[in-house]
Amino acid sequence: MGNELAWGKNGDDDGASSYLDFISTWVGYEYTQGREGDCDGCRLVSKLANDPDTYAVFYGYVIGYSLPDCNVQPEGGNLCTDGAQWIRNNRQKILNVYGDYAAKSYAADPNKGVLWLLEADFHQYTISTQSNPLSLQELGQLASDIIDVIKKNAPNAKVALNHAPWLTDKEATAMWSAMPLSKTDFLFFSGDGNSNGGYILNTTTDSAYNAATATYKFLSSFTGKKIFVDTSFGLSQGADTWSGISEELLNKRISDGVFAVNVTMPPKDYEARVKKLRLDLNSLSR
């Protein structure tokens, strides 16, 4: 990817790789389907191997596929109640799946590294609703071990950790103080581009409970990392607040630390918007 803001979408079913910087896909579910050892994401890596300008992005969700999401099954037996205990019971399996997947994706294209986005809602495994919650130190060690096994098997991989925009100021600073930032290449989370205050969510105000930490600029500055942002998925999926806003606002987001935007469900004229923005946006060093 170059020095300008990078653009992408989920899935290359419409040939979007011809004009985008990256294509994303979800991985890690194969073992839940009795296909442990399979690498569906490798097809995307192979497809993009001969395109030097378009990268494969993996949403790594090995833990996340083990139990239902909390908003899908809210009555218990979900990631918010039993996810941490599942991690304790299956810790080595998690590392094995990530290591094997990284090795297979590296074999599919050893020349251009995959960008890995690890375990959305990662903080949830420390919350009080868990039957046996992880400490932040345990969560940080798990993140460190996953990153290590990915990079051992795919030396040119880049790995991101997830931030939850609804964390309190205290929770946000405590979490990132416990994460292995020296091994982490960038952050990722869902957010809006059209916030004049630079908040991750455009509904946040100066009086919000997490106003001090819920900005792109704070997180990038506190962690020393650039930010990959998306428009979320499933029940929490939001509108595209990125490709249709002013160049002035987009340049503010770039200066706040955002380097890539993944529009989950792009508008019909996404290609035209992206091409225009490439011409109009300032080319800021990342």
Q: Where are the domains of the chain?
A: 6-280
pLDDT tens-digit map of 115-172: 999 999 999 999 999 999 999 999 999 999 999 999 999 999 999 999 999 999 999 9
Q: What is the pTM of this model?
A: 0.94
Structure-block tokens of residue 1? 């990817």
Which pLDDT does position 14 carry in this prediction?
81
Whole-angstrom distance, CA of residue 23 vs CA of residue 20: 7
Take residue 261 and report the two structure tokens written for it: 């935007």
Three-state SS at 170: helix
CA–CA gap between residue 160 and residue 226 (Å, rounded): 10
Alpha helices in the chain, H assignment, sequence order: 41-48, 79-108, 136-153, 169-178, 216-223, 247-256, 270-280
How many CB atoms are located within 10 Å of the residue 77 CB? 10
**Per-residue confidence (pLDDT) for residue 3, from 0 to 100:** 45
Amino acid at 280: D
CATH class, domain 6-280, is: alpha beta
Residues of the chain scoring pLDDT < 70? 1-3, 234-238, 281-286
pLDDT of 1 reads: 43
- 98: tokens are 């990530």
Spatial contact of 80 and 124, defined as CB atoms under 8 Å apart: yes
